[in-house]
Amino acid sequence: MSSLQPVRGTHDLIGETQRRFAHVIETARRITGLYGFDEWATPIFEDTRVFKRTLGDTSDVVSKEMYTFEDRGGESLTLRPEGTASVCRALVTNGLTQSLPQKVFYAGPMFRYERPQKGRYRQFHQIGAELLGAAEPLADAEVIAMGRDILQALGIARDTVLELNTLGDLESRTAWRAALVTYFSERRDELSSESQNRLERNPLRILDSKSPQDRAVVEDAPLISGFLTPLAQTFWDDLRKTLDILGVGFRENPRIVRGLDYYSHTAFEFVTERLGTQGTVLAGGRYDGLVSEMGGPQTPAIGWAGGIERLSMLLEEAPAAPRPVMVVPMGEGAAATGLTVLQALRGAHIRAETSYRGNLKRRMERANRLNATHAIVIGEDEVARGVVQVRDLDRGEQTEVAMDQVTSFLHGLSQDA
Ligand code: ATP
Ligand code: MG
């Protein structure tokens, strides 16, 4: 039998990879906390309608990327392809639509049946934030600034550019959509067959097409800016003004429409040139219609999601592996004392390890492999005298320390450092 492999497009997170992931999530959790966001966790799978209803039948995600299956009870379930729809569903089903605003942070795996390549996987991971119940452009600006702060805290803000667009309100979009249909219909033959399809069902999506053939036609397509209602124009002006006040730099990009159907007004992407074509690391927008699609009251909302894989790849260096203290009991007579010291260290919040077998040499080799800071060597003589030998493995110095002073001795060292 050939050996089992991970499913195509999935990967194990181990060692340095996992430390990079954890660092991205912890940083995002900390920064969103500063903005008053609370963490939510929703199920990994949902009733298929949660996504079908909201993402739009013509979106790439719903039309070809969802992992949908029937369970043994005959219900259609879908592994979540993104977090926003689930958060809106949770807002409604937990009766929170009357306690607004809600500020939500989440992190976790998402699933899309895509062609795997660097920066694009079938199980991937996102951090995300949703601010539900605020209609003001100030909310959009704050949520975008929070994304920028996370990139800054990760040390990668300089590698990214914020691209910003408005999709206007429904009235603006309806007029723009009509102009797009007219324009694309005239050049129908130049479009990819996929975009010819989109022309009937969702012409905005053509602007988002990655096919080079479509890109050429998209070049000259009418822009939303010519169709903004006075209200939508004011919103757009206020957003840019507020971003200026917050010191968030951006580049206007009229081509940004985002991959999902539910956006209005603000759409934005933080992009980098360091990851080839998978250059969008954190993206989002305003989705005022989504909560009502989910059966709740009309609720304005704005949010974003960031790809943890892509953010991790941009990190300059992986967070260092934590260094333990190694307890090395020598001989039967030191075993019990070794265990006591080990637990005392852990009780004092010091990462401590021991090896389960082997002579002094083998045990010291393991200490080196784990990059231990210290070895605490305990022989029968030490047990009799109530002391231990603390060996500093970086400097090669050894100090005799009273057994009940070990943790304070090590704490003292880490304070000196
Ligand atoms: P793309 O245009 O790259 O397909 P998208 O518009 O489908 O992105 P969103 O649904 O907005 O992406 O997801 C937000 C972020 O999640 C993306 O900017 C990206 O960083 C990440 N992401 C999306 N799909 C994947 C994937 N298959 N593998 C890894 N990361 C992903
Ligand atoms: Mg996509």
How confident is the model over 118-135, as pLDDT tens digits? 999 999 999 999 999 999
Residue at 409 is within a domain = yes
Residue with CA nearest ligand 1 atom 23: 307
Q: Identify the CA nearest to 102 among candidates 354, 299, 345, 313.
A: 299
Residue at 125 is within a domain = yes
Ligand 1 centroid from CA 200, angstroms: 25
- Please compute the mean of the pLDDT values over residues 88-112 and round it to a whole number: 97
Residue at 29 is within a domain = yes
Q: Do 151 and 262 reside in the same domain of the chain?
A: yes
The three-class DSSP label of residue 1 is: coil
Residue at 222 is within a domain = no
What number does the ligand 1 atom closest to the CA of 119 have?
A: 29
Q: What is the CATH number of the domain that holds 269?
A: 3.30.930.10
Q: Do 159 and 284 reside in the same domain of the chain?
A: yes
Last residue of a domain, one of 288, 314, 340: 314
Ramachandran bin of 89, using left for φ above 0, alpha for ψ from -120 to 50, beta for the remaining angles: alpha
What number does the ligand 1 atom closest to the CA of 310 have?
A: 20
Q: How confident is the model at residue 202 (pLDDT cuts 50, 70, 90)?
A: confident
Ligand 1, residues at Cβ distance < 6 Å: 82, 112, 114, 119-121, 124, 126, 259, 278, 280-281, 283, 305, 307, 309-310
Q: Do 308 and 334 reside in the same domain of the chain?
A: no
Residue 204 has a pLDDT of 85
Mean pLDDT of the chain: 94
Query: Could you say which DSSP state residue 74 is in?
Result: S
Last residue of a domain, one of 291, 314, 337: 314
Q: Do 240 and 162 reside in the same domain of the chain?
A: yes
Q: Do 272 and 398 reside in the same domain of the chain?
A: no
- Please compute the mean of the pLDDT values over residues 236-245 and round it to a whole number: 98
Q: Do 361 and 238 reside in the same domain of the chain?
A: no
In the numeric block, which tokens belong to residue 13?
């997170």
Q: Do 72 and 136 reside in the same domain of the chain?
A: yes
Q: Do 23 and 155 reside in the same domain of the chain?
A: yes
Residue at 40 is within a domain = yes
Ligand 1 centroid from CA 121, angstroms: 9
Q: Do 271 and 406 reside in the same domain of the chain?
A: no
Q: Is residue 396's pLDDT more than 70?
A: yes
Maximum CA extent, the chain: 94
Q: Do 309 and 329 reside in the same domain of the chain?
A: no
Residue 277 has a pLDDT of 84
How far apart CA 54 and CA 394 sit, in angstroms, is 57
Ligand 1 centroid from CA 281, angstroms: 8
Residue 308 has a pLDDT of 98
Last residue of a domain, one of 278, 294, 314: 314
Q: Number of structural domains, the chain?
A: 2
Structural domain of 364 = 325-416
| Ligand 2 ion: residues within 5 Å (CB) | 259
pLDDT tens per residue, range 147-180? 999 999 999 999 999 999 999 998 999 999 999 9
* C-beta separation of 234 from 136 below 8 A: no
Q: Do 308 and 284 reside in the same domain of the chain?
A: yes
Ligand 2 centroid from CA 279, angstroms: 12
Q: Is residue 390's pLDDT more than 80?
A: yes
Q: Do 162 and 270 reside in the same domain of the chain?
A: yes
Rg, C-alpha atoms of the chain: 28
